[in-house]
Structure 1
Amino acid sequence: MTRWAGVPADQRKDGRREMLVGAGYRLFGDEGESALTVRAVCREAHLHTRYFYESFADTAQLLGAVYDEQAVALGDVLARAVETAEVSARTRAGVRGVLRFISDDPRRGRVLFADAPSLAARRRAAEQSLLDGLIAMSGRPRLGVLVAATMFTGAMTQLAQQWADGRLGTDLDAVVDTAVDLALALQTRATQPNVNA
């Protein structure tokens, strides 16, 4: 008997795709883009190369799926963080959630901040989604708020990347405290009545 015996065809295909994405994540996260070859992915997933092509046209498409999986997981972390209505607590939970997500498995940061050209459009879409969410939460799309949300989105992306690269030390609490203080100061200034009302 094979591992797929008795499993419907669509579930077999979905299962193999999941195995390939997992293998791609491990290889890319541990060794970088050069390790992501069809043969290496299939060897890591314990699948024949013909199964690669039933789900992906090439390794760039696979890397896109790996990125999407991590972006969705990070989005879930952020969604849980913003469930609280209080701005300070929401900001703290969001910043901590993002940095903790990366700390818990450094491969996540390598995937999310990879310099692979095939991921550029996905990264832009993820940043735009974060920006749209911040603007929607503000409920007041004044120019000051729009500018502050745009600045925070860019700063948060860079903060997460610097944290992933180990350039901000190892004290998560200190980094979160500093980031939250600065973010709240920006938010306070942006919502003052005389800032482009």
Structure 2
Amino acid sequence: MTDKTISPRGYRGASLEQRRAQRRQCLIDAAIEVYGGVGYRHAGVKQVCEAAGLTQRYFYESFSHSDELLIACYEQATQRVREHNMAAAEAAGSDPVRRSRAMLDAYFQLLKDEPHMARLLLVEIRGISPAVDRAIEAALRASTADMTRALALSGRQFDGMLQAGVLGGVIHIALHWMATGYAAPVATVTETALKLGAALLN
């Protein structure tokens, strides 16, 4: 695990709010590694704080309980994935099929490159609490909006039910791939998922 400990030197000249923000980010970074490594249900506040190099009192400076930290981790990770995917779409040009392939390729490659984050996003987040479920629904809505913005031709709207099915199908392909230890090449997984995406683009 990468050492996330914040050196006291990093606080020199920083305001109180900046120091709090640094400690909060350190906890989020450590929690993604811990939750993605041993599982959310098997990790406590103490374990996350040890990984972050912080005492437990700093945990409660930013979070009232572990679910809040889990949500913060999830929201930050999903934002990163969304930005990563949209950047890939923009770089692919204007053709919707090329954009779709680029987004899927970027998504699956990121999951493979960062398996702890992938586990957090797709496995550990499920069935925790209503608040966590609301965070998942918000992330899915945001991803759906990204899909429309990146792939729909000007003035066109995708069928909402079909779009939800495609997004869910891509997630289940990712889960199956993860369960096999990422055995298939990224390109193969991308092409498989692209068959689902074709339903939207036809």
Residue 47 of structure 1 aligns to a residue in which SS? coil
Task: Give yes or no for contact 1:135–1:146 (8 Å, CA) kept in 2.
Answer: no
| Correspondence for 1:103 among 112, 135, 152 | 112
Alpha-carbon separation, structure 2, partners of 1:6 and 1:188: 53
Q: Which residues of structure 1 form unaligned runs of 5+?
A: 190-197
Letter of the 1:70 partner, please give it.
A
- Could you say which residue in structure 1 is the equivalent of 2:4? none
| Correspondence for 1:55 among 62, 66, 81 | 62
Question: Are 2:164 and 1:150 equivalent residues in the alignment?
Answer: yes
- Could you say which residue in structure 1 is the equivalent of 2:72? 65
Question: Are 2:99 and 1:90 equivalent residues in the alignment?
Answer: yes
Alpha-carbon separation, structure 2, partners of 1:188 and 1:45: 44
Structure 1: which 4+ aligned runs deviate by more than 6 Å?
A: none
- Could you say which residue in structure 2 is the equivalent of 1:170? 184
TM-score, normalised on structure 1? 0.84
The Cα shift of 1:99 comes to 0.6
TM-score, normalised on structure 2? 0.82
The Cα shift of 1:34 comes to 3.0
Mean Cα displacement is larger for which, 107-116 or 133-142?
133-142
Alpha-carbon separation, structure 2, partners of 1:168 and 1:2: 39
Alpha-carbon separation, structure 2, partners of 1:188 and 1:16: 44
Q: Which residues of structure 2 form unaligned runs of 5+?
A: 1-6
| Correspondence for 1:27 among 30, 34, 45 | 34
Letter of the 1:140 partner, please give it.
R
Larger Rg: 1
Q: Identity over aligned residues, as a percent? A: 25
After TM superposition, the structure 1 = structure 2 runs for residues 10-21 of structure 1, keeping only pairs within 5 Å, are: 10-21=17-28
Distance 1:167 1:147, change over 3 A: farther
Distance 1:123 1:161, change over 3 A: farther
Alpha-carbon separation, structure 2, partners of 1:2 and 1:77: 32
Task: Give yes or no for contact 1:36–1:59 (8 Å, CA) kept in 2.
Answer: no
Residue 53 of structure 1 aligns to a residue in which SS? helix
Distance 1:51 1:147, change over 3 A: closer
Computed over aligned residues only, the root mean square deviation of the Cα atoms, in angstroms, reads: 2.2
Letter of the 1:109 partner, please give it.
A
Alpha-carbon separation, structure 1, partners of 2:31 and 2:188: 34
Residue 82 of structure 1 aligns to a residue in which SS? helix
Distance 1:2 1:150, change over 3 A: closer
Task: Give yes or no for contact 1:27–1:35 (8 Å, CA) kept in 2.
Answer: no
- Could you say which residue in structure 2 is the equivalent of 1:187? 200
Task: Give yes or no for contact 2:104–2:194 (8 Å, CA) kept in 1.
Answer: yes
| Correspondence for 1:141 among 143, 154, 157 | 157
The Cα shift of 1:22 comes to 1.3
Task: Give yes or no for contact 2:33–2:117 (8 Å, CA) kept in 1.
Answer: no
